Structures are given as structure tokens and as C-alpha cells.
A and B are shown apart, each in its own frame.
Chain A
Amino acid sequence: MVKYLFGRVLGGVVTLFLVTALAFFATAFAPGNPASVLLGNMATPERIEAITRQLGLDQPLPVRYGIWLRETLLGNLGTSNVSFKPVNDLLLAAAFPTVQLALASLVVAVVIAIPLGLILAQNRNSWWSRPASGLITLGISVPGFWVGLMLIVLFSVTLKILPSGGYTPPSKDLWLNIRSLILPVATLAIYLIPSVVRFVRVTAISVLREDYVDTARAKGTAPAAILLRHVAPNTLVTTITYIGLQLGVLISGAVVVELIFSIPGLGRLGLNAVLNRDYPVVQGVVLLAATGYVAVNLLIDLAYALIDPRVRAR
């Protein structure tokens, strides 16, 4: 298990290294000399040169990367070019809505998708199995953000029972918070469900073909009991890893959903920063989201090792 975990941690470190390099390049190669941007209309050639030396911009790239990495690890992410607020504060304020949205959507999606996938696997030979698979393919093909727009048309415009956007923090009003998140969470969950259902179905079908399932069946165990006691646990172990892989989809989806429903989260922060060329904020958002992605994937790998004795033994 030590070797397995070592490999995973190494993979995480490599990813983070690539990400920091990516985020660094986002500023290092950004158009415009940061020194003259910083000085604005007070810029004179002497001052620009002084600031350039002070910031270490005259150093070769690897050295600059080292300087930048040290500052970043110390938590110094700079200030926004647009609002002049510290990037740390902006990230902190935006992180909560995003985490709330992503977590709630993931829970809803998993709670719906896993039983659905198991039921589809159990009834794989019934007449409705093929139409159900067709429906899953349709679900995978429909853009998630369009589903969000349609939910707005249905629930906000036509039925007028849910807000079409905006976000209330739970500390202010929990009920309004939940109401403001119903449509965004539904959108993101609907986006995730089809692919998870498909994965659970395929995995469970292959588990159903295992010898120990035949043995249980021969002993006279009821089909429902086989599904719950033998198929579900073995399917779940693999599904956890799959959900880890879907994390990138979840992050991408959250950005779009935040834009549609005007949720002041990391996605909207990053998106506005991109369109305003606010490089320090772009960098902060990319770093934070990527670190979160790597950290959660590491936790999933750890959970996987704890659940599955075959991995533990390695």
C-alpha cells in the first residue's frame, strides 16, 4: 500500500508542478510589462528599470519561476489588476458558494445515479433496457448549460416558483440559500448523472458475471440480496475512482452554472478575470481549483486503498 500511495502522491505532485508552471506562464508571458502596468502613468524608463529589477523580472525564467513559487507557497498571490483587492480575499469570498454548489450537486448526482445504474444492470435483459440506454446517450449529448436555461424557462419564467439567478449566503438566510441553489444544483447534477449511470451499469454488469454471483444464485439467494450484498459493494469501489475522474467535469460544469445563475463563485471570478485580462486573479483561481482537484483525487485514492483490500495488500 505504501508503494501505491507513494505513486499517487507523486502523481499529484507532478500535476501540481505542471499546474504551477501553467499558472506562472499565465503571468510571465502575459502581454505588457508588469512593471509599467504597476507604475501606470508614473512610469519613467528609470523607474521601470528599478521596479523590473526589484520584481526580479530581469532574471532568467527558471529563476523567476523559483521566486514566484516561493511567494505563492507563502500565500502571496498579489492583488487584482482591476479591483486592486488582494487575490487571497477574492478567492476566499468566492470559494464558499462554489464548494457548496459542487458538493450538493455531487451528492444529489451520486444518490440518484448509483441506484439507477444498479437497477439498469439488474434488468439488462428487459424490454426497457434499450430505450433506457438511449436515454442515457441522449443525456450525455445534451449540453448541461442548455438544460439550465430550460429549467429557468420552466421554473422561473413559466411556473414562477424558483429564482432564475442570484445567491444568498446560508449565514444570511438558510431558506433563501437553499431556494437559490435548487436550479443550479439540479442543472449540475443532471449534467453528471448520465455518465455515472452508464459507468455503474457497465461495471455492475461485469460484476454480475463473476463466479461468486453464480455461487450466491445457486445457493438460492434472492436477486435483490445479491445486488445489495455482492454487486453493489464491488461496483462502488470502482465507481469512486470514476467519480474522481469526473471531478474535472464537475469543476468545468460549475463555472458554466455559476455564469448562468449569477452565483458569485470561483468560476465567475475566473471568467471575469479572463475577459478583463486580470492575470493575478486568473492565476489564483487556476491554482486554487487545480490544488483542490489534486487534493480531492488524492483523498479518493486513499479511500480506495482503505476500502479495497486488494489495493491495501500491494
Chain B
Amino acid sequence: MADVVVEQGQAVRAARARKPASLRNVLGRKSTVAFFLTLPLILLIALLVLYPAVYSVHLATLNKSMQKFVGFGNFLFLFKRDTFWMVVKQSCIFAVTAVFFKALIGFIVAHFVHNIPAKGQRKWRGMLLVPWVIPPAMSTLAWLWLFDPSYSAFNYTLSFFGIGPINWLGDNVWARFSVILVNVWYGAPFFMIMYLAALKSVPDQLYEAAAIDGANWWQKIWYVTLPMMRNIIAITALFSLIVTFANFDIVRILTSGGPLDQTHIFATWAFKVGIEGSDIPLGASVSLFMVPILAIAAIFILRDVSKRGNEA
């Protein structure tokens, strides 16, 4: 017995002497593995996202031939142009209106789908999500054809009601309406799916409790559904705001910014100036104006997401 104790004592001492090096080895192994597993991700983000983002700031300070440093010259030039302010205004109108109607329609449709028997919900949900699944470049072509000046299927239909013909894409106001309409059509199903998932996560007992407390359907929505879904509504709307604000496909294909640059938003105008007009620094400057709005939305989303993470 006493022997054993002595032996153990020695073992302990031996272990102490060994400890620091081997412990470091263990840690080293784990973090080395982690490093190699994340290395491709880090490289990708650093080289193809972060670097270009910083590089575009540098580009924005050069002149058109990219040989001279002009500081804020490009920005000052933009501030003096009416088209630029029109783009700012249209981008904001476009994004805010589209997101609002996407959220509204998404919420309403989600409610109706949630209302019908569970058996049929899958079918309806599947059908209503189709606009989101079709690549927007493809579906916008269909809209372009629906809006076609001479063969518009909409105008054909409206003529039976004595309306029209409407110059969908040629008239200032109607063109702005049309790009928003197509964007709402494309994005509302996404909201619908998100809200539907959120609606399903509200426990039935809450509605039953509210019904016993004498709430009508409107009060149930206002006092139960909306508060329970607040987080998901906020996140979806902010996320959509970013995507809508940075939209390119729909406006590019539908109007190319016309008529008379009236429907240009940041992305399409940056493309026109930077790529088609070969003024890369000016194009970079235009797209940089998206950053403040994107940053604000991103901060709010991040706050929400990390809050969620802490709860979990």
C-alpha cells in the first residue's frame, strides 16, 4: 500500500514536468485543425469581399482615366448633378415602398394560408412561392412582355373595362409603379414564407387564452400575433431592405433606368456610369452611396441576430 503511494507521488511529479509542453501541443492541434478548416473561408472573404470593398473606396478617389488622385472630386461632381439626386430619391422610394408592400402582402397571404386546413397548406404555400423561385432575370422578361407597349396583355384586359391604354414603362409615374410592382411580386412570397414559419411558432394556447379573455380576431392579431412575430418581422424587413436597395436585375431588364433616367437606382446607375460609360471611379462612387443605408440596416439585423444567439 505504502509503495503504491510513493509510486503515485512520482508519477505526479513526472506529470507536472511534462504538463506545459504537452498541453500546448493539445491546444495547438485543435486550433491548427480549426485554422485549416476555416482558411479557405477567410481567404475568400478577405480577397474577394473585403479587399474589393476597400478597393472601391480607393477607386472612388481617382479620375476617369484612373491616373490622378482627385480626393472627393467624384463625390463633389455627383452632388452637382440632378440625375444623382434623382437616383437617391428613386432608390429610397423604390426600396421603402417595395419593402412595405412586400411585408404587407406577405403578412396577409401568410395569414390566409395559416387559416386554411393544414392539409391544403402545403399545396398553396408551394404555389405562392413560385415567384421567388424563378430567377428574377427570367421572370422580369415575362413582365416586360406583359407591359409591352403594343401587345400589352394588361392593356388588352383593361380595355374591356374601358381603361387605358396605359404606357406602363414609357410614362414616368407608371414606370416607377411598374418596377415597384415587379419587385413586390418577386419579394412578397419570401415574406409570406418567413411569416408563415413565425405564425406556426406561436403557441395555440396563447390564442385560446386570448379567446377566453374575449379578444376578437383583430385583437388577437394586434396583441398576440404581432408581438410574438416582432423579431422575425424586423429581421425580414431589414434584410429585404438591403436586397431591395441593392437591386439590379429587375430595373435593368424592365426599364434600363428609363424613361429619362427616372427609374434608375444606385446599382443600375453605377452600372451605366461605371461599366457602360467606362468611368469606373465615378461608378464606384455611386455604388458607395449605398453603404450608409446598408450599414444601418446591417447593424440592426446584427443586434437582433446576436440577441437571438444569446437567448439560445
B and A form one assembly: no
**B contact residues vs A (CB 8 Å cutoff):** none
